[in-house]
Amino acid sequence: MELIKMYLEELDQEAVTSRKMLERIPEDKFGWKPHEKSMNIKSLSTHLADLHSWTGLVLNTDELDFSNMPYQVDDVNTPQELLSLLEKSLVKSRTQLVPENETKLKEKWTLRNGDQIYDVSPKYAVIRMSLNQIVHHRAQLGVYLRLLDIPIPGSYGPSADENTF
């Protein structure tokens, strides 16, 4: 199986679950966070929505250098804007997840901050990590929603809030 096709299928599958999580965030809770060291819901959810673009970013670049390309995400202020960011992020990845880019997957990709190198890995591994990051941050968001007593949608089956047993 070609990796590009597999990544596209996985991205689309994860987007369905991310969409269900993001649409449950109440606008009046964007500033809420569970701990002083935690991101607030707005920061976490915009990062989650943006992560869906990273597959395209990796395929389209050779590195991300925070010293000359600071990480900035669109400023969203409503749940609708958040979902729009997710859709825009998906377009960025889908346009790069084409068979012609299969040959790029073994190329090296670097994550750095100037001279400080955090990681150098093949693009296929960085894409895998970015898809894992989507799941990781979505799980964090699920904890936030649980603490706010907002029902959690199922991810890979029903959640306790959807349990019909």
Q: Are 7 and 55 in contact (CB under 8 A)?
A: yes
SS3 of residue 8 by DSSP: helix
The length of the chain in residues reads 165
- All structural domains of the chain, each given as residue ranges with its CATH number in brackets, are 3-147 (1.20.120.450)
Task: 39-43: list long-range contacts, CB under 8 Å, 24+ apart.
Answer: 41/141, 41/144, 42/76
Residue 136's pLDDT is what?
Answer: 97
The distance between the two most distant Cα atoms of the chain, rounded to a whole number of Å, is 55
Amino acid 74: pLDDT: 86
Three-state secondary structure call for residue 116: strand
How far, rounded to the nearest angstrom, does the alpha carbon of residue 4 sit from its chain's CA centroid?
17
The amino acid at 67: S
**In whole angstroms, what is the distance from residue 119 CA to residue 161 CA?**
39
| pLDDT tens by residue, the chain, 165 residues | 589 999 999 999 999 999 999 999 999 999 999 999 999 999 999 999 999 999 999 999 999 999 998 677 889 999 999 999 999 999 999 999 999 999 999 999 999 999 999 999 999 999 999 999 999 999 999 999 999 999 999 988 889 888 765
